[in-house]
A and B are shown apart, each in its own frame.
Chain A
Amino acid sequence: MIVAILLLIPFLAATFMVVATPTRQARVVALASTLMTLVFTGWLCFAYQGDPVIAVDSDWVPAWGLRLVMGYDGIGLLMILLTALVFPFIIGAGFGERLQHPSLVNALLLYTQAFLLGVFTAQNALLFYIFYELALLPVFFLLLYWGGERRRGITVRFFMYTLLGGLSLLFGILYCMVQEGGFNGDFSALAALDLPLDTQIWLFWVLFLAFAIKLPIFPFHGWQPDTYSMAPVQGTMVLAAVMLKMGLYGILRLVFPIVPEGAAYWQNTVIILSLIGAIYGGVIAFRQWDLKRLIAYSSLSHVGLLCAGLFAWNGYAVTGSLYQAFAHAIMVVGLLYLTGALRERVGSTEMGAMGGLKARTPRLAALFLLVMVNAIALPFTQGFIGEWLMFAGIWQLNGWMAFGAVTTIVLGAIYMLYAYQRVMLGEDKWQLEMDDATLRDHLVLVPLIAVTFILGVYPAPILNLINGPVQQLITAIPMLP
C-alpha cells in the first residue's frame, strides 16, 4: 500500500496534467507533486527499520507467471530517495525553459518518475523489466518532440540501443524463470537458483548487457553523448541523474544474485572495461567545446568508476559506489541546471561563446564553482566520500586498478577546472549584457549545494541506510572463486 501511494502520486499528477492540460500552472502542479513524493519518501526513510519491506505481494496473472511484488530495502530506499530528491529540481529547472506544451513536458517527467520508482520498488524480475522499459518511453517522447536539431536519428538510436539491452534482459529473465520451474520471477526465487557455471558464463552477459548499455560502460556507450547533448536539459537531467542509476541497481538486484559465479568469472574484464571507459571519457571530456557534451563525457567517466566499484565487490567499494551514485545525481543536476542557465544568458552551450563571464555574473560563477567542487571530489563534499570509499575498495582488489581509478579523479579535476576557466575566467570577450544569478537560480542550486556539503561532512544517514543490505549481499554472495 505504501509503495502504491509512492507510485500513484506522480502517476496521478501526470495523468491529471494530460487530461486537464493546465498551461500556466503545469509546473506548479508538477512541483507540488514531486515535493509530496519527497516528503513521503522522507517519512519512509524515517520509518525504515533496517529490514526489507514487502509492501505488495499479489498475483497478476498467476498461470502466466505474472506477479505483483513490490517492496524495498536499504539500497532500494537509497534509490527511491535519490529519485524523489532530484525530481523537484528537474521540474524546477523547467521554469526557465520555454518549451511548447509545458503540461505535457511535465506530465512526461512525472510519468518517468512514477516508472522509475516502480523500477526501484519492484521485487519481481518481470515487473522490474516492465517498469524498466516503461521508464524509457516518456524520455523517448521527450527527446523526440522537444529535443535539439538532430534529434530524429539520435532518439531512435538511443531507443534501439536501450531496447537491445532490454530485450536481452527479458530473454535472460525468462530463461531464469523457466529454470526456476514455477514461472516465478521473484527476486528471492531467482536468487535461490543454482545454475551451472557454463550457463552462468553466458547468462551473465545476457543479463548484464542491459545495464552495461544503460549505464553506459565502454564499449556500449555509442548512444550516450549525442543523446545527452540533443535532449532538452530536463531530459538529460533525468537520464544522467536517475536513469543510469537503474543500471547500477539492476546489477545489484539481477546480476550478482542470479549469476554470482558468472560475475566472478567476468569480474576483471568488467572492471577493466569500466576503467577504460572512465579514463577515455575523462580524456574526451577535456577536448569538448560544448558544455553539454562535456557533461556527457564526464558522466561516462564517473559511471565507469561506479561500475568498477560495484564489481570490486567488497564492502568499501560497493558502499562507495552507491554513495557516489547519489552524489553524482546531485552534481549532474546542478551542472546541467547551470548549463541551462548559461544558455539562457548566452544563447548557446558552446564554451567558445562564453569566457570571462565571472565579471558580469559573480554570483553565478560562485554557484558554478560550488557545484563543481563536488564533481572533482574535493574533501567535505559528497563526491570525496564516495570516491574515497571506492578507491579503498578497489585497492583491496588490485593496486593497478586502483591506480587507474585514481587517474580518473585527476582527469576529472583537469577537465572541470579547464571548463570553468573557459566559461568564467579570462577576459570578457563578447561583452554580453546579462543578469546575474536570479532568485530561481539560487532556489535550485543552493539546496543542491547544501545537500552536497552536509552529506559530505556527515554521511552517516546514507551510509547507515545502505550498510546493512550491502553487507548482507556481500556475505551472501562470496564472489572470489
Chain B
Amino acid sequence: MSALILISILGVLMLYAGLMAPRKVLAPLGIIGLLAALFLLRSGWNVNTEFFGHMVQFDGFGLVFSEALILLTVLLFVFGVDYYARLHENVAEQYALMLFSLVGAIMLTSYQHLLILFLGIEILSIPLYILAGGKRDSFRSGEAAFKYFVQGSFASGFFLLGIALLYGSCASFDLAVIQAYASAPIPGTEMLFLLGLFFTIAGLSFKVAAVPFHFWSPDVYEGSPTLVTAFMSTVVKTAAFAAFYRLIQYMDLPKALDMMLVVMTWLTLFLGNIVALRQSQFKRLMAYSGIAHTGFLLLAFLGRDPLTPSVLFFYTVTYSIATVGLFVVLTLAKRAAKGDENIRIFKGLFRSSPWLAIVTMLLLLSLAGIPLTAGFVAKYRVFLIGIESGFLKTTAFAVLMALVGIYYYVIVIREAFTPRDKGPQLVVSPLNWLVISFCGIAVMLLGLFPGLLHL
C-alpha cells in the first residue's frame, strides 16, 4: 500500500520537477522513486495485508506482479532518457502520466473488490489516452488517442454494466462473495449473474486485446509514440491479465462463459497469428503478435490449474522483456531509416551492428518460443497446462498457431541476417545499449534457468 502511495506522490512530484528542475533529473528521479517503491513492496513480502475493509489485498499474487510491473516501468524509463531527449517540452508530463498509469496497474493486480477493479482500469487507461496522443503534431498519434479513448470508454461502459448486474445478483462487489455465489447461485438470478459476468469479462478482454475485442490494438500501437506502445504492450497487458485472472481464479464459471472463453481462445489464436502474417509494418506486426500471445495466455486460463498463476507470471514477464527490447531496437532502426517502420529497416543489421542483431534475434526467438530462450519455457508450460486440464484440441490448435507465429518472427530475423547490402549504421546510446543487452541476456538466462522467476 505504501508503495502505491509513494508512486502516486512520485507522479505529482514529477510534474513539479518538470516545472522547476532541469530535464536531466526527471528519469533518475522516477527510477529512484520506483526502486524505493519496490523496496517498500519487498518489505511487505509474505505479509498478506488488506486495506480499505477488504477492498485491496496485497497477497503473493499481487505483490509479485506489482514488482514485475515496477521493474518493467524502470526499464522503460531508462529507455525514456534517450527517447525523450529530442522532445522539447512536456517530458515530465509523459513520465508522470506513466507513473499514474502504473498506479492503476498495481491496483489491478491486488484488488479484492470490483470497484477497485474499475478504479484501477480507469486510472490505468485515462493517462494512456493522453499518452497515446503524445506526439501532438502527428496525425496518426491523434488518431490512436481518439480511437483508444472511444473504444476504451465503450469497454468501460460494458464493464460498469457488468458489475452493476453482478451487484444485482450477488448484492456485493466483494470478490469472495461473488465467488461464493458462483458456486451456489440463488435460483432465478442466474441469468443476471451470467450477463453481469459476461460484460465484466468483455470489458477485461478489451484490455488484454482478445478477439473480438481487439480492434483498437493495431491502430493504437501503430499510432502511439513507440515508448507508449511499449508501455501498453507490456505493463498494461501484464496488469490486465493479472486482473482478469484474479477475477476468475477461484470462480466456477457458468458453462456458457467457459464455452465463451474457449471460443475466444480459438479466435484470438487464429486471428492474431494469421493476420500477423500479412503485416509489413513492424509495430502492427507486434500488435498482432501481441494478440496472438493473448491467445496463448488465455489457453493457460482455461484450466485454472493451481499452476496457472505462475505460468501467467512467467509468460507475461518474459513476453514483456522481449517486447521492450524489440521496441528499443525498433526506435533505433526507425531513426536510422528516417521514420520508416517497415520490417525492411532491419535489413543488414547483422553486418552493421552484430550485437544488436544477435540480441534482436534472441528476443524474436523468445517470442517465437524456440528452445533455450525464456519464451520456450513459457510456451511449453502453457501447452502442458492446456493438455493437463483436458483441452487437447485447443492445445493442438495453439501448437499449430505457434508454428504460424514462428514464421513472421523468422521473417524479421531473415531481414536482419541478410547479407550483401550493409544496413544503415544505428546510433546506440549507452543507456539504450544497456536496456537492449539486459533484455537479451534476461531472455537467455530465464530460458536456461527458468527457476529464477517463479511465483
Within 8 A of B (CB), among A145-195: 145, 152, 155-156, 159-160, 163-164, 167-168, 170-171, 174-175, 177-178, 183
* Contact assessment for B399 and A163 in the assembled complex, using a CB-CB cutoff below 8 Å: no
In the complex, which residues of chain B have a beta carbon less than 8 angstroms from the beta carbon of A164? Answer: 403
* Contact assessment for B414 and A155 in the assembled complex, using a CB-CB cutoff below 8 Å: yes
A174 and B402 contact, Cβ closer than 8 Å, known pairs A66-B450, A134-B371: no
Q: Does B407 contact A (CB under 8 A)?
A: yes
* Contact assessment for B372 and A145 in the assembled complex, using a CB-CB cutoff below 8 Å: no
- The 10 sampled A-B contact pairs (Cβ below 8 Å) are A61-B450, A133-B370, A133-B371, A134-B372, A152-B414, A159-B406, A160-B403, A167-B400, A167-B402, A171-B387
Q: Does A65 contact B (CB under 8 A)?
A: yes
Q: Does A137 contact B (CB under 8 A)?
A: yes
Q: Does B396 contact A (CB under 8 A)?
A: yes
In the complex, which residues of chain A have a beta carbon less than 8 angstroms from the beta carbon of B387? Answer: 171, 174-175, 178
A145 and B370 contact, Cβ closer than 8 Å, known pairs A61-B451, A160-B403: no
In the complex, which residues of chain A have a beta carbon less than 8 angstroms from the beta carbon of B377? Answer: 64, 66
Which among A63, A100, A168, A178 has the highest number of chain B CB atoms within 10 Å?
A178
In the complex, which residues of chain A have a beta carbon less than 8 angstroms from the beta carbon of B119? Answer: none
Contact of A174 among B384, B411, B414 (CB under 8 A): B384
In the complex, the 5 A-B pairs of residues with the closest C-beta atoms, listed nearest first? A130-B371, A133-B371, A61-B451, A171-B399, A178-B387
Q: Does A144 contact B (CB under 8 A)?
A: yes
Q: For B395, give the chain A residue with the smallest CB separation.
A: A171
Additional pairs, 13, CB under 8 Å, beyond known A160-B403, A171-B383: A64-B384, A129-B371, A130-B376, A144-B414, A144-B417, A145-B350, A156-B411, A159-B406, A164-B403, A167-B403, A174-B380, A174-B395, A178-B388
The tally of residues in A whose CB lies under 8 Å from a CB in B reads: 32
Whole-angstrom distance from the CB of A151 to the nearest CB of chain B?
A: 9
A163 and B406 contact, Cβ closer than 8 Å, known pairs A130-B371, A170-B399, A171-B399: yes
A156 and B414 contact, Cβ closer than 8 Å, known pairs A61-B450, A64-B381: yes
In the complex, which residues of chain A have a beta carbon less than 8 angstroms from the beta carbon of B383? Answer: 170-171, 174
Q: Does B157 contact A (CB under 8 A)?
A: no
Whole-angstrom distance from the CB of A112 to the nearest CB of chain B?
A: 14
Q: Does A403 contact B (CB under 8 A)?
A: no
Q: Does A430 contact B (CB under 8 A)?
A: no
Q: Mark A44-80, 1 if CB is under 8 A from B, else 0.
A: 0000000000000000110111100000000000000
Residues of B within 8 A of A (CB): 350, 365, 370-372, 376-377, 380-381, 383-384, 387-388, 392, 395-396, 399-400, 402-403, 406-407, 410-411, 414, 417-419, 450-451, 454
A167 and B381 contact, Cβ closer than 8 Å, known pairs A144-B418, A156-B410: no
Which among B377, B407, B414, B454 has the highest number of chain A CB atoms within 10 Å?
B414
User: B-side binding surface: helix, strand, loop or mixed?
Assistant: helix
Within 8 A of B (CB), among A119-156: 126, 129-130, 133-134, 137, 141, 144-145, 152, 155-156
In the complex, which residues of chain B have a beta carbon less than 8 angstroms from the beta carbon of A129? Answer: 371
User: A-side binding surface: helix, strand, loop or mixed?
Assistant: helix
In the complex, which residues of chain B have a beta carbon less than 8 angstroms from the beta carbon of A141? Answer: 417
In the complex, which residues of chain B have a beta carbon less than 8 angstroms from the beta carbon of A137? Answer: 365, 370
Whole-angstrom distance from the CB of A157 to the nearest CB of chain B?
A: 10
Q: In the complex the two chains form, what is the Cα distance from A251 to B383 in whole Å?
A: 23
In the complex, which residues of chain A have a beta carbon less than 8 angstroms from the beta carbon of B454? Answer: 63
* Contact assessment for A160 and B417 in the assembled complex, using a CB-CB cutoff below 8 Å: no
* Contact assessment for A152 and B403 in the assembled complex, using a CB-CB cutoff below 8 Å: no
Q: In the complex the two chains form, what is the Cα distance from A100 to B381 in whole Å?
A: 40
Whole-angstrom distance from the CB of B85 to the nearest CB of chain A?
A: 33
Whole-angstrom distance from the CB of A408 to the nearest CB of chain B?
A: 32
Q: In the complex the two chains form, what is the Cα distance from A17 to B402 in whole Å?
A: 33
Contact of A145 among B380, B400, B419 (CB under 8 A): B419
Q: Mark A90-132, 1 if CB is under 8 A from B, else 0.
A: 0000000000100000000000000000000000001001100
In the complex, which residues of chain A have a beta carbon less than 8 angstroms from the beta carbon of B402? Answer: 167
Q: In the complex the two chains form, what is the Cα distance from A163 to B392 in whole Å?
A: 20
Whole-angstrom distance from the CB of B448 to the nearest CB of chain A?
A: 9
In the complex, which residues of chain B have a beta carbon less than 8 angstroms from the beta carbon of A144? Answer: 414, 417-418
Q: For A183, give the chain B residue with the smallest CB separation.
A: B384
* Contact assessment for A65 and B384 in the assembled complex, using a CB-CB cutoff below 8 Å: yes
Q: In the complex the two chains form, what is the Cα distance from A178 to B414 in whole Å?
A: 36
Q: In the complex the two chains form, what is the Cα distance from A436 to B399 in whole Å?
A: 53
In the complex, which residues of chain A have a beta carbon less than 8 angstroms from the beta carbon of B350? Answer: 145
In the complex, which residues of chain B have a beta carbon less than 8 angstroms from the beta carbon of A178? Answer: 384, 387-388
In the complex, which residues of chain B have a beta carbon less than 8 angstroms from the beta carbon of A170? Answer: 380, 383, 399
Whole-angstrom distance from the CB of B350 to the nearest CB of chain A?
A: 8
In the complex, which residues of chain A have a beta carbon less than 8 angstroms from the beta carbon of B395? Answer: 171, 174
In the complex, which residues of chain A have a beta carbon less than 8 angstroms from the beta carbon of B380? Answer: 126, 170, 174
In the complex, which residues of chain A have a beta carbon less than 8 angstroms from the beta carbon of B381? Answer: 64
Which among A126, A133, A144 has the highest number of chain B CB atoms within 10 Å?
A144
Contact of B399 among A100, A159, A160, A167 (CB under 8 A): A167
Whole-angstrom distance from the CB of A138 to the nearest CB of chain B?
A: 12
* Contact assessment for A156 and B403 in the assembled complex, using a CB-CB cutoff below 8 Å: no
* Contact assessment for A159 and B410 in the assembled complex, using a CB-CB cutoff below 8 Å: yes
Q: In the complex the two chains form, what is the Cα distance from A134 to B370 in whole Å?
A: 8
Q: For B411, give the chain A residue with the smallest CB separation.
A: A156
Q: In the complex the two chains form, what is the Cα distance from A163 to B405 in whole Å?
A: 11
Q: For B418, give the chain A residue with the smallest CB separation.
A: A152
Whole-angstrom distance from the CB of A378 to the nearest CB of chain B?
A: 42
Q: In the complex the two chains form, what is the Cα distance from A61 to B387 in whole Å?
A: 19
In the complex, which residues of chain B have a beta carbon less than 8 angstroms from the beta carbon of A183? Answer: 384
Q: For B454, give the chain A residue with the smallest CB separation.
A: A63
Q: In the complex the two chains form, what is the Cα distance from A155 to B415 in whole Å?
A: 12
Whole-angstrom distance from the CB of A56 to the nearest CB of chain B?
A: 16
Whole-angstrom distance from the CB of B349 to the nearest CB of chain A?
A: 12
Q: In the complex the two chains form, what is the Cα distance from A141 to B364 in whole Å?
A: 14
Q: In the complex the two chains form, what is the Cα distance from A133 to B380 in whole Å?
A: 13
* Contact assessment for B407 and A100 in the assembled complex, using a CB-CB cutoff below 8 Å: no
